[in-house]
Chains A and B, each alone.
Chain A
């Protein structure tokens, strides 16, 4: 249904009704902005990048092939625009080692996370996300927010499906590892209470 609606507005824009593009911008601006923010970690830059993305999409709207979803194409442009910005700034990206986990650790982490107050929890999660690589943050956002299929994400990020599965698995482990380090004091308390 959404795809049909998108196509309707795309046709209007191609037919010369520039204003119809505003509907598409309104529909996708939050997701495009969130994805850009996750990659660039700066409100101002994310807004500029999201704007660039929509202008780029507008310019090449005639080239859009309706076999794929409009959102898939839009997120692909978002991803590439952010990558270009990151490349031009030559950011130093922190590398986080992949930790080993035991089942006990993961369950304790989930329990500790539940005990933290909502606002503080959001801040901790944001700090954990900030320590991931931009591509990993982008991948997690696409996967969990829009529930995009792996097939679609592989088209957006230009990675084949099998490699994407591995990347997703490693990213999950990485973020859980970061969370474990962040919640170390609370985890120790919990273990002591269990004794």
Chain B
């Protein structure tokens, strides 16, 4: 009796559920979702990413630390392993090349002014690009 009741209730509820139709969202639902997804993607591609990640920095420091500890514990000293000849790097010889090189005071002033302008340009360009970046960030 109980199972027959259950079957009848099952049939009744099935009938009820089949009568309540599957609903549909608004017609532009997919485009709304897609515009959100695409703007999210753009944001992701614009967002600041450091050239060297934190993980990479950690690995670099770890490698340096390991190298320094290795140097300390193996007792490495400058006298024991200097097989490479660094004599070719001689500052005095390099400076000799420029000994005959002379600039007029006017050229010096022009060069100085040029350098100052380059530095100013860097500052202006940086603030300009920063502002543009912020604007784009707001749009997305």
Contact = CB atoms under 8 A, between A and B. Distances in A.
B41 A172 contact: no
B33 to A, nearest CB: 5
A34 B23 contact: yes
12 contacts: A18-B34, A25-B33, A29-B29, A29-B30, A33-B24, A46-B25, A51-B33, A55-B33, A107-B8, A110-B15, A118-B19, A176-B9
Interface in B1-59: 1, 4-6, 8-26, 29-30, 32-34, 36-38, 40-41
Interface of B: 1, 4-6, 8-26, 29-30, 32-34, 36-38, 40-41
A54 interface: yes
Nearest to A122: B19
A115 to B, nearest CB: 13
5 closest residue pairs by CB, A with B: A144-B17, A106-B8, A33-B25, A34-B23, A172-B13
Contacts of A126: 20
Interface in A109-160: 109-110, 113, 118, 121-122, 125-126, 128-129, 140-141, 143-145
A19 interface: yes
Q: Residue among B11, B20, B26, B36 with the most chain A CB within 10 A?
A: B20
A101 B19 contact: no
A187 B20 CA distance: 22
Interface of A: 18-19, 21-22, 25-26, 29-31, 33-34, 37, 46-47, 50-51, 54-55, 58-59, 101-103, 106-107, 109-110, 113, 118, 121-122, 125-126, 128-129, 140-141, 143-145, 169, 172-173, 175-176, 179
Nearest to A172: B13
Contact of A51 (B22, B36, B38): B36
A25 B17 contact: no
A50 B16 CA distance: 24
B23 to A, nearest CB: 5
